[in-house]
Amino acid sequence: MKRFNLKTVLLVGAALALQVAAVWGAAPRTSGAGNALADLHTALGVTCASCHGTAKVAAVDDSERSINVTCVGCHGNLDAMAAQARAGSHVNPHKSHLGDINCTVCHMGHVQSKAYCTNCHAFAMKIPAGDPVPQKPAPKAAKKAAVKQRVERADVVVIGAGAAGMTAAITAHDAGARVILIEKQPITGGNSMLAAGGMNAAGTRFQKAKGIADSVELMYQDTMKGGGNIGDPALVRVLAKESAGSVDWLTSLGADISDVGRMGGASVNRTHRPKGGAAVGAHIAGVLKKNAVQRRIDIRLNSKVVKLIEDNKGRITGVQVEGKHSGLYTIKAKAVVLTAGGFSANADKVAFYRPEYKGMTTSNQPGATGDGMDLGAKAGGELKDMKEIQIHPTVAAGSRILITEAVRGNGAILVNHEGKRFVNELTTRDKASAAILAQTGKSAYLVFDEGIRKSLKQIDGYFHLELVKEGATIQELAAAINVPATVLEATVASYNAAFDGKSDPDFKRPDIPRPIRTARYYAIEVKPGVHYTMGGLKINADGQVLAASGTPMAGLFAAGEVTGGVHGNNRLGGNSISETITFGRIAGASAAKLVKGGAKK
């Protein structure tokens, strides 16, 4: 097949835009906007068969892997595309934390793509063939249901391919089960992909190497206290006890989580992240995906589970799936694991449970809509703590970009529009968020210096996204963010004195690892945003979903944010990735045990 350079394709495509209307009648299924890849390619004389193959034109698998092979064949892979980035552009969308994703995630083939970057980033980004265009509504599932559905079989179906799902799938696979991992979004990773600060674990080899004295009991106590002592003690014990083993497990799969820092509410440094302080989520999601692919686990993207299937004894025996291209079908399974995440990106649901959060931004990916909880509840699972919704104190103002708590952990302070500190920056998220919402403009500035910047690699990303204001002196920084210079100078001087004296009399911050005295000086305006939903399906320590009666539901397991009970009324930073790995391993192992006949249910 002829190789096209993307730049050429797009330039020629633009020049031919007027001709597109003329060829429209001859074009295959298009978006109707003249700006889908189908339109651009057709205008260039590229036939349907060039992309879809001749055997069965338009036969595209739900994961769109086949079509992606063709895109890559002509244009090169993401690395090749990233290498061609336009000079002068600081944004290189082909090189991102989303990892190795299909071209059709952001560029629409025929129907509107998800255009992931523009879902979260505030900067204007013109994505070729990525315009949001009005679409004809997709055919209703009910119509397709009229035709006989195909039925497949698996030992274990895992619903949701974030960290918990990929972990459960890998664990069940390694225990001998035949696993299908279903994901409604066009990419794997879920919210875990966006996790920034790190993974909490107590008593790890990395803590020991740094001389950090921690214990399972201390992590348990911190987690219970941070969650208002309403967390399920049995689940919190498991989280703390298994955490070091989960770090070892991830490390054995190839992850680097050797750097250790501190998050709010922790008594010691126990938040593990890649060396140099890179974001934890994209790294871990990449490692898990690679391991799942190496094991040839059947991962199906663009596939939404619409129903859990029960037998006449109430056992969960499979799922009904709606594939983007394949329509409705059934997978019969001996065990189903729900790992579909929380509902922070479902504004209606958030407002239903907490009307006061109506209209608030979220740090979550768009798929975090709570479908997994709905599926489990509809099948008889008990929901708990649904009103416990976490507001993260530091989402960059005017965006959905989370500014990781690790910036504060590594030394940054929160300053109000009057130039003053107003809270212990390492307090728990509920308290820090409430303190920010009480300030002028319901926002604050996160202030740090070059030393703190150098201590945490992920800060570079905030510069890249143009979220940072700066100055060569504190005075210059004050001018850049429009706060009184003398007040800001006094605030920083007093914080540096607290660092020198190892005590923070004003706000009782428990740990000041660095002062703020190395030019340049930086500030990011931050506002609280919906970050995490602590509530969800009730589970036991084996990862079994519990019915209202308290008895385990036969064949149904769950792990991660879809569950409730681990975090009480406030999750500690770093406990989410920890939960996904530990409970993902437990749910995967329990499901495999059921398949092998070793479990009660």
Residue 273, C-beta contacts closer than 8 angstroms, at least 6 positions apart: 197, 198, 199, 257, 259, 260, 261, 279, 280, 406
The closest alpha carbon to 269, from 227, 209, 330, 339, belongs to 209
Per-residue x/- mask for ligand MEZ, residues 196 to 215, rule CB under 6 A? xxx-----------------
- Cβ-based nearer residue to ligand MEZ, 455 or 544: 455
Cis previous bond, 315, omega within 30: no
Q: Is 573 in the site for ligand MEZ (CB under 6 A)?
A: yes
- Cβ-based nearer residue to ligand MEZ, 444 or 599: 444
**How, if at all, do strands 179-182 and 298-300 pair?**
parallel
Q: Is 406 in the site for ligand MEZ (CB under 6 A)?
A: yes
Distance CA 393, CA 141 (A): 40
Binding residues for ligand MEZ, how many (CB under 6 A)? Answer: 11
- Cβ-based nearer residue to ligand MEZ, 197 or 419: 197
Distance CA 368, CA 275 (A): 29
Give, as one character, the DSSP assignment of residue 398: T
Contact range with ligand MEZ by CB under 6 A, out of 380-388, 404-412, 487-495, 500-508: 404-412
Distance CA 202, CA 251 (A): 15
Contact range with ligand MEZ by CB under 6 A, out of 85-93, 96-104, 324-332, 399-407: 399-407
- Cβ-based nearer residue to ligand MEZ, 483 or 524: 524
Orientation angle between helical segments 163-174 and 280-294, nearest 10 degrees: 30
- Cβ-based nearer residue to ligand MEZ, 481 or 526: 526
Q: How far is the CB of 534 from ligand MEZ (least distance, A)?
A: 11
Residue 231, C-beta contacts closer than 8 angstroms, at least 6 positions apart: 223, 224, 565, 566, 567, 568
Give the nearest residue (CB) to ligand MEZ.
197
Q: Is 405 in the site for ligand MEZ (CB under 6 A)?
A: yes
Q: How far is the CB of 346 from ligand MEZ (least distance, A)?
A: 18
Q: Binding ligand MEZ by CB under 6 A: which of 185, 563, 576, 582?
A: 576
Q: Binding ligand MEZ by CB under 6 A: which of 231, 367, 574, 588?
A: 574
Q: How many CB atoms lie within 10 A of CB 113?
A: 23
For residues 199 and 582, is the Cβ–Cβ distance under 8 A?
no
Q: How far is the CB of 433 from ligand MEZ (least distance, A)?
A: 12
Exposure class string for 147-160: b at 16+ Cβ within 10 A, else e: eeeeeeebbbbbbb
429 as an active site residue: the answer is: yes
Contact range with ligand MEZ by CB under 6 A, out of 156-164, 174-182, 398-406, 436-444: 398-406
Q: Is 189 in the site for ligand MEZ (CB under 6 A)?
A: no
For residues 560 and 583, is the Cβ–Cβ distance under 8 A?
yes
- Cβ-based nearer residue to ligand MEZ, 30 or 576: 576
Contact range with ligand MEZ by CB under 6 A, out of 117-125, 183-191, 371-379, 400-408: 400-408
Q: Is 433 in the site for ligand MEZ (CB under 6 A)?
A: no
Q: Is 525 in the site for ligand MEZ (CB under 6 A)?
A: no
Q: Binding ligand MEZ by CB under 6 A: which of 42, 302, 404, 590?
A: 404
Q: How far is the CB of 160 from ligand MEZ (least distance, A)?
A: 18
Q: How many CB atoms lie within 10 A of CB 245?
A: 15
3-state class of 547 per DSSP?
Answer: strand
Query: What's the gap between Cα 337 and its chain centre?
Result: 19
Catalytic residue among 429, 509, 571, 585: 429
Q: If you search the block for the tokens 């990525």, which residue do you land on?
A: 130
Per-residue x/- mask for ligand MEZ, residues 230 to 269, rule CB under 6 A? ---------------------------------x------
Q: How far is the CB of 577 from ligand MEZ (least distance, A)?
A: 7
Q: Is 344 in the site for ligand MEZ (CB under 6 A)?
A: no
Distances (CA, A) of 410 to 11, 207, 516: 46, 16, 11
**How, if at all, do strands 536-538 and 521-533 pair?**
unpaired
Identity (one letter) of the amino acid at 260? V
Tokens read off for 294: 């190496």
Contact range with ligand MEZ by CB under 6 A, out of 329-337, 446-454, 569-577, 588-596: 569-577
Task: Supply the residues annotated as catalytic.
Answer: 429
Residue ranges in contact with ligand MEZ by CB under 6 A: 196-198, 263, 402, 404-406, 573-574, 576
